[in-house]
Every structure is written in C-alpha cells, then in structure tokens.
Amino acid sequence: MKIEAITVREIQLPLVHFFETSFSRVYDRSMLLVTLHCDGLEAWGECVAGEDPFYSPEWIDTAWPTMAKYLIPALLGKSIGSGRECPKLFARVRGHRMAKGALENAVWEAESMEKGVPLWKLLGGTRRQIECGVSLGIQDTVEQLLEKVEKELAAGYRRIKVKIKPGWDVNVLARIRERWPNILLSCDANSAYTINDFDHLAKLEEFRLLMIEQPLWDDDFYFHAALQKRLKTAICLDEAIRSARDTQAALELGACRIVNVKVGRVGGFSEAIAVHDMCQQHSVPVWCGGMLETGIGRTHNVALSTKENFKLPGDVSASKRYWKEDIVDPPVEVSSDGLITVSDAVGTGYRVKTDLIEKLTIRKETYRAGKQASSPR
C-alpha cells in the first residue's frame, strides 16, 4: 500500500476520575493520534507519550516534531507491505519509541484492513478472550481506594493493581489484604524507591503479591536484580524494558520474573512481539500494560493481548472507566467475569468516531507525499 498522507493531531479529553501515580496526578489526557491515508483507506495509531516527561523521557511535545521531521518523511510516498517494515525505516532515529509505535501500529492496522484479516490474527494472536485487571491510582484516603477495589471486583476484574509510593504502600496493602485475603493483588511503584528502601520493600512480602512493578529507577537492571535476589515476591519491570534486547538482559541478570509489555514503550507491535517471544523462550509470563489510552490504543492493546504468552491479566480495561464517551464504537467492554472477547471482524473490529475526534482536536497537521513540510537535515 502506498502511504499518500499522514495526519497528526492532538486531542484532549477529561478522565472520568483523576489518576495519580508516584510521579503525578492527571485530570485530563492529551493524546497524539495519527491517521494514515493510503489506497483509499484510513488507519489509526495512538501515541501513548504523556503530557510531561515524568513516566519516560518522551512526551507529546517531543513526539510530534520527531514524527513530523523524521518518521513521517520515512513513510510518505513509500509502498509498504507490512508493519514489520517500519522498524528498519525508523532505525536511524534513536529512541522516541512512542512516536515510532504510533506510526508503526497504524501501518499494522492498515495492513490488516488491506489483507481483510483481524488485527489480532495478523499479530499472531491465539486467544479469543483476554483476561482483564485494573490499575488503581493513589487516592486521597485509603477508604476511597477500598471502595474502588470493591467496585472493580464486583465488576468482575481478575486482578487488582494499586499504585504505591513511600507513605502509601504497607499501610494501604495491609488494609486491602485484611478485607480480601485471596484476590490476585499487585502494586506498581513507578520507580519511587531506592536501594535505601530494600528493608522497607521486604515488608511487602507478607501481602502475597503477584508482583511488585518497577520499584527502582526507570533505567535500572542491576539494582532490581539485587532486590529480586532478596525477595520471594516477583519483580515485574515496566519502564526499564524498552526492547527485546533489554528483556534478554533483564531476564538473564535476574532483574525480574514478570514483564509488562506496553507496545508504545517498546516502539510498536514488531518489538512488542519480540519482547513477548523473548519472555516466552525464558518461560517468563507477560501481561499488557496500559497508558490511559483512548479506544484507538486500547483496541490495539486488546489485539496484542491475544498472543499466547500474555498469561496474566493485563491493565486493559473498559473504556467507561476512563472516558464518558470513547472515540471508538462500540466502546471497549468487559464481561461480568472480567474478559474481553475479540471478534473476527477486519482491523480492530471497532469503528473510529471521526466526528467526535474532530471536536476533541486542538491542533492538527496533514503531511503529504512529495510536499515535505520540514525535511531532515
């Protein structure tokens, strides 16, 4: 398929409830969306970069110019058969994985439409149903968090993950475990601890957690390996895993026993599949992480989660937990037993609501083949 034009836009939409991690509290989400225009069809991708460089060095204001100046010119006017071709076309640009991922995933979506197959099958998925968990942010009070846990368990979610930070950890997990001794429970620190906290983190062992996600620095394997040696509880890496090569290093160093796969964080579906496969070779289970996505990124996560080694419930949950009205139709829905079922429809199986997206757009630019707005130096 020939890529004739690419639109990049920023949309802004309010979250149903604020989301607080160890690094920030957000009330709204700003997202970059990309649209590929090729052979009369339109395919979409979502850039999961945050509003600030707090989760990762990348944020929306680095993603946009990187796409405009380097990544989009590498695609425009080209005939591309498959999303698999993107990493090579983008290889000269170092990092900027979320920007790359948005474009690559849109190419995979276009490929699935052109071939007339569901995206999940194109990605090599084998599961018809995926298991869903929820990620619960830091609240103003523990009571408010307990209410949220109760609500999500009643809705059928199969794993509860809570965000932790110093001062919101042992006390909070103790209250959850006291009330629900047997649920699948995990926590995510988003790099809030250091080597001075090993004794403190060892106190989390008694809560029989499924995992402790990214307790230490976002770029570290060495100290995570030291911590993992000390703990019986599995460490799961999120931020630190940027590629399949990172995954191999982390696993062989013993830095974790579980891996969170976020397709944007690793630069697109090709690398996400490689991370998945690397873990599978090491008999390490993975699960699909989330970045408060709109329906476009969310349905891409659903498709990826159908792959065999996604053995643990992911942070892929219903649209209505985040948005009053999602930008895909139908919204992503989770059954009362905590599952999302994929269909045999072509592409993601969800329709993109272009009218609503136009209303939410705060800036937009279309780049066309042969008319490079800003070409690389």
CB closer to ligand OSB, 7 vs 105: 105
In degrees, rounded to 5, the angle at the alpha carbon of residue 356 between the alpha carbons of residues 352 and 359 is 140
Tokens of 213: 């996600």
Q: CA-CA distance, 328 to 44, in Å (whole number)? A: 11
Residue 298: CB minimum distance to ligand OSB, A: 8
Tokens of 222: 């060495």
DSSP string, 195-213: GGGHHHHHGGGGG--S-EE
Footprint (CB under 6 A) of ligand OSB, residues 33-92: 55
* Residue 348 contacts ligand OSB per CB under 6 A: no
Query: What x-and-dash track marks residues 288-327 binding ligand OSB by CB under 6 A?
Result: -xxxx----------------------x------------
CB closer to ligand OSB, 152 vs 238: 238
Question: Site for Mg ion (CB under 5 A): how many residues?
Answer: 3
Catalytic residue among 100, 161, 165, 262: 262
CB closer to ligand OSB, 6 vs 132: 132
* Residue 210 contacts ligand OSB per CB under 6 A: no
DSSP run (H or E) holding 228: helix 222-230
Q: Which does 271 bind (CB under 5 to 8 A by kind): Mg ion, ligand OSB, none?
A: none
CB closer to ligand OSB, 276 vs 321: 321
Active site residue 262: yes
Q: Which does 291 bind (CB under 5 to 8 A by kind): ligand OSB, Mg ion, none?
A: ligand OSB
CB 107 within 8 A of CB 290: no
DSSP string, 139-171: -SSHHHHHHHHHHHHHTT-S-EEEE-BTTBSHH
CB closer to ligand OSB, 47 vs 86: 47
Footprint (CB under 6 A) of ligand OSB, residues 9-28: 21
Active site residue 115: no
* Residue 20 contacts Mg ion per CB under 5 A: no
Sign of CA dihedral 64, 68, 70, 73: positive
Q: Are strands 339-341 and 129-131 parallel, antiparallel or unpaired?
A: antiparallel
Q: CA-CA distance, 289 to 315, in Å (whole number)? A: 5
Burial of residue 170, with CB atoms counted within 10 A of its CB: 0-12 exposed, 13-18 middle, 19 or more buried: middle
Residue 311: CB minimum distance to ligand OSB, A: 18
Question: Site for ligand OSB (CB under 6 A): how many residues?
Answer: 11
Residue 315: CB minimum distance to ligand OSB, A: 4
Select the residue whose beta carbon is closest to ligand OSB and give its number. 290
CB closer to ligand OSB, 201 vs 292: 292
Footprint (CB under 6 A) of ligand OSB, residues 227-266: 238
CB 286 within 8 A of CB 261: yes
How far CA 276 is from CA of 101, 174, 337, in Å, comes to 16, 33, 25
Residues in contact with ligand OSB by CB under 6 A are: 21, 55, 135, 188, 190, 238, 289-292, 315
Catalytic residues: 163, 262
